[in-house]
Amino acid sequence: MIDINTVARIRAAADIVQVVGEFVSLRKSGANFKGLCPFHDEKTPSFMVSPAKQICKCFSCGKGGDAVKFLMEHEQFSYVEALRWLARKYGIAVEERELSDEEKAAQSAREAMFVVNGWARDFFVQSLRESAEGAAIGMTYFRQRGLRDDIIRRFQLGYSPSSRHALSSAATEKGFQRKYLIDTGLSIEGHDGRLIDRYYGRVIFPVFTVSGRVVAFGGRTLLSKEEQKAKSIGKYINSPESDIYHKKDELYGLFQAKQAIAKYNKVFLVEGYLDVISMFQAGVENVVASSGTSLTSRQVRLIHRFTENVTLLYDGDAAGLHAALRGVNMLLSEGLNIRVLTLPEGEDPDTFAQGRSPEALREYIDASETDFIT
């Protein structure tokens, strides 16, 4: 699939410290680097990365290898997919022959779901930016929330047309199999057997893996509370659990935040999509969200791979404080350092961040966050 000379160039360009550092927070340890193993749960780092040997190895579970092997194990990539990922990272052009129908049919269902999610992300982005409806409804909503164009692009926000069949019909015409549209949750099978778009008439928030693949979507309705109640629909709907998406394993915003988390050795933990995006826009880029769910042990361990320092940032009311405290036991049991920052009553991270300059926001955080034990 990829010629041998290109493979050699990719392998020669790949730096194991840079590659592993995309997924694990590494600290210098002599001539090597050390971090928490991404392949099993641990509190004391036993995962070593050797720049001299260009390999990594966990001295507890034994997993490791070179950059290609690491990506195959961590991201569940095939050999060719790992090479493609490295080629993109290092700007190496890869020429491949067109897959035959038999080879396309042989691709894994898991990869097919990632492909259809990536296409859907592009569909939603195009609908937001290039359709009259998207501009009038979706973009107007994001503008009202104070979001800049660069931030809308950074988080790849989109809009799903109000037609109940727009995405499903376009995907079918594109040749995507009905099975994968249903399995990813993009479409729902109606009583008459016709596919219905799950997110029609909603603004879209793609959810990314640590490596940047689209694993799920969140959709927010723009109907009023009265209209939502009358139609018995929720403000947000999210992708269902699938072979590629397990909500308890993902943190919204981690793909965009991971470099800032490593830089500051700290992460702010908030509740929702717009909390993350508004904080990021205000200059606090080391921020992630549990996406409206109670914090899970797997999310805590994912955080620990990047930093030991967590600040819980929630709404300034009793419910917000309660939410901030729900995950404390898990954070403490993982050995993390916890600080708590509660906002003035009536404020949430979204509105609070938008009402202040980056300097004022940082000053408030520095002056107001409190050690949890204290």
8 Å CB contact between 242 and 157? no
Distance (Å, whole) CA 64 – CA 83: 17
Torsion sign, CA atoms 161, 164, 169, 172: positive
As given in the structure block, the two tokens for residue 49 are 């990365």
Q: How many whole angstroms from its chain centre is CA 105?
A: 28
Place of tokens 């914090």: 295
C-alpha distances in Å from residue 350, one per residue of 204, 285, 287, 346, 354 = 17, 13, 12, 11, 6
pLDDT in tens, 322-341: 766 777 888 888 889 999 88
C-alpha distances in Å from residue 93, one per residue of 3, 68, 82 = 11, 17, 14
Per-residue model confidence (pLDDT) at position 318: 65
Sorted by sequence, the CB contacts under 8 Å of residue 137 that are 6+ apart come out as 159, 162, 222
C-alpha distances in Å from residue 197, one per residue of 139, 211, 288, 342, 349 = 20, 27, 28, 38, 31
8 Å CB contact between 323 and 314? yes
Sorted by sequence, the CB contacts under 8 Å of residue 153 that are 6+ apart come out as none
Torsion sign, CA atoms 148, 151, 156, 162: negative
Residue numbers in the chain where pLDDT is lower than 70: 1, 96-107, 292-293, 315-321, 323-324
Burial class (CB in 10 A: 0-12, 13-18, 19+), 215: buried
